[in-house]
């Protein structure tokens, strides 16, 4: 995203340097070509900045929420494999399946919300929430991938 600001500023500076001392029509062509190139570059840079990594349009905080939640999800699955059921609380995973640091990771990060966990009838739901912009939720259940959504 930084290049969306820096490149146009550097482009204007470079165009001014290139057009100094040139005849009027040559300077105009230099400015026209430079401005068109800058517009195309900025549009491409914006698309790549928004769409890089993860799913198209996915925010960095979505990726962070999934990264924090993945160890807890893996621990839940390991607990289920060993005992045949999901634990009543996430605290039951500590220390055998999950460290206390993994359990409290979102609280000490920019996400700032603890994990939410619900288990019943052989299923569970793990939720990681964060704000900015609006309230956002990333959740995972057995046999389904991460689903992230939010509202303003």
**Model pLDDT for residues 105-146, shown as the tens digit of each residue:** 778 787 888 889 998 878 899 999 888 777 888 899 888 888
| pLDDT of residue 16 exceeding 50 | yes
User: Could you give the angle at the alpha carbon of 150 between the alpha carbons of 60 and 133, nearest 5°?
Assistant: 60
81/144 same-domain check? yes
Strands (DSSP E) found in 25-146: 116-120, 123-131, 135-140
Q: What is the spatial distance between Cα 74 and Cα 76, in angstroms, rounded to a whole number?
A: 5
Q: What is the pLDDT of residue 132?
A: 73
Total count of domains within the chain: 2
13/38 same-domain check? yes
82/101 same-domain check? yes
Average pLDDT over all residues of the chain: 82
What's the rounded mean pLDDT across residues 24-30? 84
Contact 68, 128 (CB under 8 A): yes
The reply to whether the predicted model has a pTM over 0.75 is: no
Six-digit token string for 107: 């609280």
129/67 same-domain check? yes
Six-digit token string for 4: 């969306």
Query: Of 51, 68, 87, at which residue does a domain stop?
Result: 51
26/69 same-domain check? no
78/125 same-domain check? yes
Strands (DSSP E) found in the chain: 116-120, 123-131, 135-140, 147-151
Q: What is the pLDDT of residue 108?
A: 77
Longest dimension (CA), the chain: 82
Query: Of 11, 30, 51, at which residue does a domain stop?
Result: 51
**Residue 8: domain span:** 2-51
CB burial of residue 87 (10 Å; 0-12, 13-18, 19+): middle
Q: Which residues contact 21 (CB under 8 A, 6 or more apart)?
A: none
Q: What is the spatial distance between Cα 48 and Cα 66, in angstroms, rounded to a whole number?
A: 21
123/74 same-domain check? yes
Six-digit token string for 74: 């893996």
67/18 same-domain check? no
20/88 same-domain check? no
73/125 same-domain check? yes
121/46 same-domain check? no
40/93 same-domain check? no
């Amino acid at each position: 995203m930084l290049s969306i600001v820096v490149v146009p500023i550097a482009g204007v500076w470079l165009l001014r340097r290139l057009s100094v001392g040139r005849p009027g029509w040559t300077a105009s062509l230099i400015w026209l070509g430079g401005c068109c190139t800058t517009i195309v570059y900025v549009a491409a840079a914006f698309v790549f900045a928004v769409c890089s990594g993860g799913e198209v349009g996915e925010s960095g905080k979505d990726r962070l929420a999934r990264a924090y939640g993945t160890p807890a999800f893996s621990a839940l699955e390991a607990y289920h494999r060993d005992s045949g059921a999901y634990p009543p609380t996430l605290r039951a995973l500590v220390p055998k399946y999950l460290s206390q640091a993994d359990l409290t990771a979102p609280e000490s990060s920019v996400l700032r919300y603890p994990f939410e966990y619900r288990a019943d009838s052989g299923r569970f739901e793990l939720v990681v929430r964060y704000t900015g912009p609006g309230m956002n939720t990333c959740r995972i259940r057995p046999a389904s991938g991460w689903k992230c959504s939010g509202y303003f």
